[in-house]
Chain A
Amino acid sequence: MAAYRSLRLEKYFFRNNLNKRSILGTSAVLRGSYSQPKQNEAVDQRRQFSRHTGAKYGGRYTVTAIAGDGIGPELMGHVKHVFNLARTSAMRKRTCIGRDWSVCYRVADVPVDFEDIYLDSAHDADTDLAHAVLAVKRNRVALKGNVETKHLKPGFVSHNLLLRVSLDLFANVIHCRSIPGVSTRHGDVDIVVIRENTEGEYKSLEHENVPGVVESLKVITRESSKRIARYAFEYARQQGRKKVTAVHKANIMKLSDGMFLDTCRQMAAEYPELKFEDMIVDNTCMQLVSRPQQFDVMVMPNLYGNIVSNIGCSLVGGPGLTAGSNIGSDFAIFEMGTRNTGKSIAGENIANPSAMLMAGVELCRYLGLARHADVIEKSIWRTISEDKVHTPDLGGTATTSDVVHSITQKVQNEMRKW
Chain B
Amino acid sequence: MASRILKSLFATVKISKTGTQLYSQDVRTVTLIPGDGIGPEISAAVQKIFSSAKVPVEWEAVDVTPVKAPDGRMVIPQKAIDSVNKNKIGLKGPLATPVGKGHQSLNLALRKTFNLYANVRPCRSIEGYKTPYDDVDLVTIRENTEGEYSGIEHVIVDGVVQSIKLITEVASRRVAEFAFRYAVANNRKSVTAVHKANIMRMSDGLFLQCCREAAEKFPEVQFDEMYLDTVCLHMVQDPKKYDVLVMPNLYGDILSDLCAGLIGGLGVTPSGNIGENGAAIFESVHGTAPDIAGQDKANPTALLLSACMMLKHMGLGTYGSKIEKAAFEAIKNKETRTADLGGKATCSQFTDAVCRYVD
Q: B261 contacts A290, CB within 8 Å?
A: yes
- Point out which of A158, A202, A208, A303 has the most chain B C-beta atoms below 10 A from its C-beta: A303
Q: A319 contacts B233, CB within 8 Å?
A: yes
Q: B258 contacts A285, CB within 8 Å?
A: yes
Interface of B (DSSP majority class): helix
Indicate if B67 sits at the interface (CB-CB under 8 A). no
Binds A, one of B78-86, B88-96, B165-173, B350-358: B165-173
B 139-157 to A, binary, CB cutoff 8 A, 1 in contact else 0: 0000000001101011100
Binds A, one of B24-32, B111-119, B201-209: B201-209
Indicate if A281 sits at the interface (CB-CB under 8 A). yes
Indicate if B162 sits at the interface (CB-CB under 8 A). yes
Q: B201 contacts A206, CB within 8 Å?
A: yes
Number of interface residues of B (CB under 8 A): 53
Indicate if B200 sits at the interface (CB-CB under 8 A). yes
Q: A204 contacts B201, CB within 8 Å?
A: yes
Indicate if A349 sits at the interface (CB-CB under 8 A). no
Indicate if B57 sits at the interface (CB-CB under 8 A). no
Binds A, one of B7-15, B224-232, B339-347: B224-232
A 293-317 to B, binary, CB cutoff 8 A, 1 in contact else 0: 0000000000110110111011100
Q: B170 contacts A151, CB within 8 Å?
A: no
Q: B261 contacts A289, CB within 8 Å?
A: yes
Q: B206 contacts A214, CB within 8 Å?
A: yes
CA distance A388 to B355 in the complex (A): 52
Indicate if B159 sits at the interface (CB-CB under 8 A). yes
Indicate if A41 sits at the interface (CB-CB under 8 A). no
CB-CB under 8 A from B54, the residues of chain A are none
Indicate if A166 sits at the interface (CB-CB under 8 A). no
CB-CB under 8 A from B162, the residues of chain A are 217-219, 256
Q: Which of A134-165 contact B (CB under 8 A)?
A: 149, 151, 154-158, 161
CB-CB under 8 A from B257, the residues of chain A are 282-283, 285-286
Q: A306 contacts B163, CB within 8 Å?
A: no
Q: B165 contacts A201, CB within 8 Å?
A: yes
A 170-208 to B, binary, CB cutoff 8 A, 1 in contact else 0: 000000000000000110000000000000011010111
From residue B98, how far is it (CB to closest CB) to chain A in Å?
14
Q: A206 contacts B202, CB within 8 Å?
A: yes
CA distance A311 to B163 in the complex (A): 25
Indicate if B133 sits at the interface (CB-CB under 8 A). yes
- State which size class the interface on A falls in: 35 or more
Q: B149 contacts A281, CB within 8 Å?
A: no
CB-CB under 8 A from A161, the residues of chain B are 199
CA distance A76 to B261 in the complex (A): 37
CB-CB under 8 A from A315, the residues of chain B are 236
A 317-341 to B, binary, CB cutoff 8 A, 1 in contact else 0: 0110000000000000000001110
Indicate if A255 sits at the interface (CB-CB under 8 A). yes
Q: B237 contacts A213, CB within 8 Å?
A: no
Q: A338 contacts B233, CB within 8 Å?
A: yes
CA distance A268 to B169 in the complex (A): 43
Indicate if A221 sits at the interface (CB-CB under 8 A). yes
CA distance A417 to B276 in the complex (A): 73
Q: A290 contacts B236, CB within 8 Å?
A: no
Closest to A221 in B: B160
Q: A314 contacts B201, CB within 8 Å?
A: no
Known: A219-B162, A282-B254. A206 touches B200 (CB 8 A): yes
Indicate if A37 sits at the interface (CB-CB under 8 A). no
CB-CB under 8 A from A259, the residues of chain B are 159, 161
Q: B233 contacts A310, CB within 8 Å?
A: yes
Partner of A255 from B149, B153, B168, B198 at Cβ < 8 Å = B153
Indicate if A215 sits at the interface (CB-CB under 8 A). yes
Q: A214 contacts B258, CB within 8 Å?
A: no
CB-CB under 8 A from B245, the residues of chain A are none
CB-CB under 8 A from B151, the residues of chain A are 252
Q: A307 contacts B232, CB within 8 Å?
A: yes
Q: Which of A234-257 contact B (CB under 8 A)?
A: 249, 252-256
Q: A214 contacts B166, CB within 8 Å?
A: yes
Indicate if B260 sits at the interface (CB-CB under 8 A). yes
Indicate if A346 sits at the interface (CB-CB under 8 A). no
Q: A186 contacts B132, CB within 8 Å?
A: yes
Closest to B203 in A: A216
CA distance A254 to B153 in the complex (A): 8
Q: A204 contacts B199, CB within 8 Å?
A: yes
Indicate if A275 sits at the interface (CB-CB under 8 A). no
Closest to A255 in B: B153
Q: B155 contacts A255, CB within 8 Å?
A: yes
A 218-239 to B, binary, CB cutoff 8 A, 1 in contact else 0: 1111110000000000000000
Indicate if A287 sits at the interface (CB-CB under 8 A). yes
Indicate if B265 sits at the interface (CB-CB under 8 A). yes
CB-CB under 8 A from B234, the residues of chain A are 314
Please give the residue numbers on chain B whose beta carbons come within 8 Å of chain A beta carbons, in ascending order.
131-133, 148-149, 151, 153-155, 158-170, 196-203, 205-206, 228-230, 232-237, 250, 253-258, 260-262, 265-266
Extra 8 A-B pairs, beta carbons < 8 Å, given A151-B197, A214-B202, A214-B206: A186-B132, A204-B199, A219-B163, A252-B149, A303-B250, A306-B228, A318-B237, A340-B230
Q: Which 9 A-B pairs have the closest CB atoms?
A: A286-B261, A212-B169, A282-B257, A222-B159, A185-B132, A314-B236, A206-B202, A285-B258, A149-B198
